[in-house]
Amino acid sequence: MSENRFSIFHFKPFIEKAINDLGFYEPTEIQKKMIPNIMRGESAIGQSQTGTGKTHAYLLPIIHSIDPGKDEVQAVITAPTRELASQIYQEIQKITKANEDSQSIIHSRLFIGGTDKQRTIEKLKKQPHIVVGTPGRINDLIREHALFVYTAKTLVVDEADLMLDMGFLFDVDQIAGRMPEELQMLVFSATIPEKMKPFLKKYMENPTYEHVQPKHISAENIEHILVPLKSREKIGLLYEILGMINPYLAIVFTNTKAMADQVADQLIDKGIKVGKLHGDLTPRERTKVMKQIRNLDFQYIIATDLAARGIDIEGVSHVINYELPQDLDFYIHRAGRTARAGASGIALTIYETSDEDALNRLEKMGIHFLYQDINKGEWIQLEDRNKRSKRKKTQDEIEEKARNLVKKPKKVKPGYKKKINRQVEQIKKRERRLQKRK
């Protein structure tokens, strides 16, 4: 058997075993770049898209650095959503359970909203080695003098741009303020917005910055399809699409919670069983929906962009944009919910004429769209929506070229304009013939 390429990092034996158990063979680009920096204790910023292996880029070196002999918090990992925090915690469990030495067990704890705070405080008589959770709940426990982070040398801020969008940087700031001055801060984000820079500057002096450029703006095995709304009722068209695609699991994205509720209710009225996933659900409702999704109780999920970032739902075969997101980066994140782990997937968008500008920008970003529609219960191919404008542009270019080729005579005689126009028309005919041959 060929050597596992993670061996270059010289992790502790139980971590090497966990890597093999997880089926990892070769580090991703962000892992190759970030792991050595983290193991040297440097603060670092890792910028790369969702699905590039960011979580293990920090988990593996952090777990390696934990001293099980010290019953104190040694690392704090913050995430913007409960679901992402739970996923990170589960990954830690997968790695640490490979350690069979009862004398060196690494303890980790998950702290998220929607759980019994008093019970959590009682269980904190023994401090965990690794803390994972949402910033609000972690900060709460620190203020209650139940969680002591002054011993922790490492702070991870995962999905930092989403933290900023959701207003959680204040809590992260509060947590960091209770940690040692010589703090190793690790920031992972798909983008680094300008508004985040003052926060980064406050805690990070000359951090290592690693930016992994995506080889493709979206995975190669995703097919991007545009379906025009035309004069149809949108919910009716969505219902027809869902009936046509018969997906393994489809996520239908809307821009607002109110629209997600509306779409879900209208589909339920039409007899379709759907799950809902958005920020207004209570913690209990969200936990129940996630469990139902994992149990494959739903074929369709109606979601806001909460599910586009930070929630990994297995087996998504189709992503449908009921509305295009205002921030076009979220189109990439939405599409990235499908075609994971080498599988193929379809990202389908219902578009209106008001979406033209957004679609043009996505095409400039490198998205290649196919144009399809439904006619009498069958999928039909459509011409490129830009074909007419491209044809007009070609005609204009031919006209201009012909006019430039025909020179105005130095001595103007009666009827010279008609003569010029005839020459122009002859050149235009010749150019059109050449265009057709091409």
pLDDT tens per residue, range 234-268: 999 999 999 999 888 999 999 988 999 999 999 99
pLDDT tens per residue, range 320-363: 999 998 877 788 888 888 877 667 889 999 999 889 888 988 88
Please measure the distance between the N-terminal and C-terminal CA atoms of the chain and give it in whole angstroms. 53
Sheet hosting strand 300-303, strand order edge to edge: 274-277, 300-303, 250-253, 318-321, 345-351, 222-228, 369-375, 378-381
Q: In sequence order, which residues have a C-beta less than 8 Å from that of residue 208 and are 6 or more positions away? A: 37, 42, 43, 44, 45
Task: Return the structure tokens found at 278.
Answer: 């958005």
Q: How far apart are CA 66 and CA 101, in angstroms?
A: 14
Task: Return the structure tokens found at 331.
Answer: 């189109």
Task: Return the structure tokens found at 307.
Answer: 């599910």
- Segment 17-21 shows an average pLDDT of 92
Pick from 128, 157, 10: nearest CA to 70: 128
Q: In sequence order, which residues have a C-beta less than 8 Å from that of residue 378 and are 6 or more positions away? A: none
Task: Return the structure tokens found at 418.
Answer: 């008609």
Q: How far apart are CA 300 and CA 307, in angstroms?
A: 13
Does 295 or 281 have the greater pLDDT score? 295
Query: Are 178 and 135 in contact, with CB atoms under 8 Å apart?
Result: no
Q: How far apart are CA 200 and CA 187, in angstroms?
A: 9
The DSSP 8-state label assigned to residue 107 in this structure reads P
pLDDT at 395: 57
pLDDT at 254: 95
Torsion of CA 292, 297, 302, 308, to 10 degrees: 60
Phi-psi region of 130 (alpha: psi -120 to 50; beta: other; left: phi over 0): beta
Domain made up of 222-381: CATH architecture:
3-Layer(aba) Sandwich (3.40)
pLDDT at 326: 81
What CA–CA distances, in Å, run from 69 to 39, 103, 104, 128, 152? 19, 8, 7, 12, 14
Does 381 or 102 have the greater pLDDT score? 381
Domains 5-211 and 222-381 share a fold: yes
- What rounded mean pLDDT belongs to the chain? 86
* CATH 3.30.1330.10 given to domain 5-211: no
Domain ranges of the chain: 5-211, 222-381, 387-437
